Structure 1
Amino acid sequence: MTAIDPRMRLQALAIEYATRAEAIERDLSRTHAQSFSEQATERQNDMVLQGLLVDARASVKEVQQAIERLDAGTYGECEKCGEPISAARLEALPSTPFCINCAD
């Protein structure tokens, strides 16, 4: 099994999350129906979309910070204890700044 280049993986994630955020922003900017009952449903949907947008923006920021750690040569080191983050954890959560022990 070949290792995936962390920079390429992080850049792909950054694009994915940014694209997701843009799509949500487009959905939120649409006009609402004239019917009050339809507007109520649309407003509820907007609340869900706003939550998803917050998550997507936070994910973009986390990935950007991981790329900064990569540039600084500290990617894969736990920000809390300084120990290496396991390869399996980085594979599952490429932007994580913490080892499994410190994440708990």
Structure 2
Amino acid sequence: MPCQFDLREVHAFQSRVATDEELKLSDTLRYYMKDTDAAKDLLYRRMRCLANYEAANKNLERCRGRNKDIPRVLNLLVFFIGLDYLTFCQDRLNYWCGILAVT
């Protein structure tokens, strides 16, 4: 029984399948790269907030030991706690705006 397919047709079909697979893999890679970059940015912001929070706590303990300037340090501590919450809210808002802009 002779072969009904021409080798050129088979080669063209194989190249289309390979191109589709490469596109799927590149899209998946691009998605994970963006996701990883976003996670690194979030981790950096959280680490900076944590460092600022710990520095404010250290200053508070130092001021309590000396019994001076406690209200200013308490205000800084409250500010850093609020800053972390504000950053979280802004990230969530940007996330949802991005989803709504795509659809």
Question: TM bucket by the smaller chain?
Answer: 0.3 to 0.5
* Structure with max Cα Rg: 2
* TM-score, scaled relative to structure 1: 0.44
Q: Which has the higher contact order (CA 8 A, sep 6+)?
A: 1
* TM-score, scaled relative to structure 2: 0.44
